[in-house]
A and B are shown apart, each in its own frame.
Chain A
Amino acid sequence: MATKNKTLRRNLIALSLIAPFTLTFLLVFAWPTYKVIQLSFTDAPLIGAGEWVGLDNYRDLLGDRLFWIALKNNGYFLLLTIIPTTAIALAIALAVNRLKGWVQALILAVFFLPYILPVSVVTLIWAWMLDFQFGILQPVIEFFVGERVAVFRDPYWVMPMIAVVTIWWTNGFNVLLFLAGLRNIPQELYEAAALDGATPRQKFLRVTWPLLWPVTALVLTLQLILQLKLFDQVYLLSQGGPFNTSQVLLLLVYREAFQQNDGGYASAVALVLFVIIMVVSILQFQLLRIRGKR
């Protein structure tokens, strides 16, 4: 009897402890998600109820040329960002890790600074720097390609340049993750490797890289999720143009919902993106983990 009471009390305490989170989660995540799923099977406008249309929205979506363009652009953007940003962050972290004391703190702060800027400031900075007439980077572009380029109005330049801006903006955080990972590798392992006859290259390939792999897997996965959610930079820099060459899924959702007032269809697109992100990130993380375990 006494133990039963005790168990009950413990369970009540446990429940009361997780209640705030559970309620918040249900209210701001589970409920809206459920509504979006529901909405995607109707022809509802942005505000107000609509008629049940079954799978019509999804059928439309498969025939929507813009959807496929956006999907392809999202994929292109992943290619442009994920591996480069990971490689750059790792290189910077390796370099910063060799510095000591306040110099290290200073350099780290310099690399981290862009991350704390709001996206509007970031895009403004780059819009200035790349301005066709006055941008200080135009001479650089001119040097390499022989002429000035209005990069955000050029079908070939627009996605790579948005990728550059994005990497510049978000890279500091990845550097931080890699740096934490590097600091977790005991110095003694490098000393043991030095005694075992490892060159700096071999130390990196046989000690640093494998021991850093969990962090690398984390960075890759976080990047995958983050970059699939691309919206702000495109919206502010190119609005999906020119000729839809920077059209991406979230921009499509925004257009359908807020400009075309087609809440049902927008929900269907959003849901597809949600599923893509979930499946791809879980798949990638599992694959990377398995590779690390081998």
Chain B
Amino acid sequence: MTTGVSLKNVRKSFGSVDVIHDVSIDIPKGDFAVFVGPSGCGKSTLLRMIAGLEDTSGGRIEIDGKDVTEEEPADRGVAMVFQNYALYPHLTVFDNMAFSLRLAGAKKDVIREKVAEAARILQLTDHLAKRPANLSGGQRQRVAIGRAIVRQPSVFLFDEPLSNLDAELRVQMRLELARLHRELGATMIYVTHDQVEAMTLANDIFVLRDGWVQQAGTPLTLYDDPDNRFVGGFIGSPAMNFFEAEVTGGGDGVMQARTRIGQHTFTARHTGAAPEGRTVTLGIRPEHIALAEDGLRAKVDMVEQLGGVSYLHVKLEDGSNVVVERHGLREALEGHTVGLTAEPDDILVFDPEGRRLR
């Protein structure tokens, strides 16, 4: 495996504010990597550092094995697609895409050929003579991607490229990006706050929070086996349910924990030591909660009925909300009291600091 992009102890501060703390990651060549995290966690900053639009305060950035920490943006072999497209408003689609080639002094027929090829891939051939103002949002986005493609960069950088599009177009562009990645085979780094985009597009996801990488891994690793409560709660929609509980017993690879609210004892898979009386948080995904007579008591507040899938919003004694996913539900459950249970393998245990206990 050759490395496409490698960050080594990268840091960034704006004045006295540290925005990126000691990030070290390796992204294989040809990978589709996604940086995901809540707004303000430093995703854009990290991406812009890779692009060379922000200086690094510490550490090293390597692209294709070459140290580019001090290189100019244009010399790094990266192309970037901005959230607001950043198209040159005074130039036609053709000229927008030809911009970098012209600056590089490429021959006229080479420019025409490359732009035509990018336009074909992105279905922009009929729009080459238009100005950006006369294009739809999706078309503008494709021009921005086309401008990146013609440079044949070894790394594509995307900063929330779909956030200005409507829902339908977003789904469509997601598929196009996946196709583009297959066709070009280039390394792509994609920034988003939308975990659905991260799950559907990524080979590797890096979850960021407050300038720290919380966990890196494939989408399913992060979903099934989160390292901490933050990742568990951030990945997955609807989000994972959390229950405060106290350890009441254990052994033989399991432990018992009684919830603080409702006093129900769950049995969770757990091999480490679990001293009685210790406070833990239990994490259970909506699809892993089953309804049973003798579970944690809860009252069905509202049902989101989508036909195939339904989401039950149930309330515990103290009014806190839990989401339960059901398939093929046809009974009217609103107002009913139900019991919530889950299999030991589906219950994740976190310590009070949010670290996963395995």
A contacts, CB < 8 Å to B? 186, 188-189, 191-198, 202, 206-207, 210-211
Q: B51 to A202, Cβ gap below 8 A?
A: no
| A-B CB contact pairs (8 Å), 18 listed | A186-B84, A188-B84, A189-B86, A191-B53, A191-B73, A192-B80, A192-B82, A192-B88, A194-B53, A194-B72, A195-B78, A196-B147, A197-B74, A197-B100, A197-B103, A206-B88, A206-B99, A206-B103
Known contacts A210-B90, A211-B90; A196/B82 CB under 8 A: no
Q: Which residues of B contact A196 (CB under 8 A)?
A: 74, 99-100, 103, 147, 151
The distance in angstroms between the C-alpha atoms of A195 and B74, with both chains bound, is: 5
Q: Which residues of B contact A207 (CB under 8 A)?
A: 88
Number of residues on chain B facing chain A (CB within 8 A): 21
A181–chain B nearest beta-carbon distance, Å: 13
Q: Which residues of A contact B89 (CB under 8 A)?
A: 211
> Which of A192, A193, A211 has the most chain B CB atoms inside 10 A of its CB?
A192
B contacts, CB < 8 Å to A? 51-53, 72-74, 78-80, 82, 84, 86, 88-90, 99-100, 103-104, 147, 151
Known contacts A186-B84, A188-B84, A202-B103; A194/B90 CB under 8 A: no
Q: B103 to A194, Cβ gap below 8 A?
A: no
The distance in angstroms between the C-alpha atoms of A194 and B74, with both chains bound, is: 6
Q: Which residues of A contact B72 (CB under 8 A)?
A: 194
B153–chain A nearest beta-carbon distance, Å: 9
The distance in angstroms between the C-alpha atoms of A211 and B89, with both chains bound, is: 8
Interface pairs A-B: 9 shortest CB-CB: A197-B74, A196-B100, A188-B86, A192-B86, A210-B90, A194-B73, A197-B103, A195-B73, A196-B99
The distance in angstroms between the C-alpha atoms of A202 and B74, with both chains bound, is: 13
Q: Which residues of A contact B74 (CB under 8 A)?
A: 194-198
Known: A189-B86, A191-B73, A192-B80. 8 other contacts (CB 8 A): A191-B80, A192-B147, A193-B99, A194-B53, A195-B78, A196-B99, A196-B100, A197-B103
Q: Which residues of B contact A186 (CB under 8 A)?
A: 84, 86
The distance in angstroms between the C-alpha atoms of A207 and B103, with both chains bound, is: 12
B284–chain A nearest beta-carbon distance, Å: 43
Q: Which residues of B contact A211 (CB under 8 A)?
A: 89-90
A102–chain B nearest beta-carbon distance, Å: 17
B115–chain A nearest beta-carbon distance, Å: 13
The distance in angstroms between the C-alpha atoms of A188 and B85, with both chains bound, is: 9
Q: Which residues of B contact A202 (CB under 8 A)?
A: 103
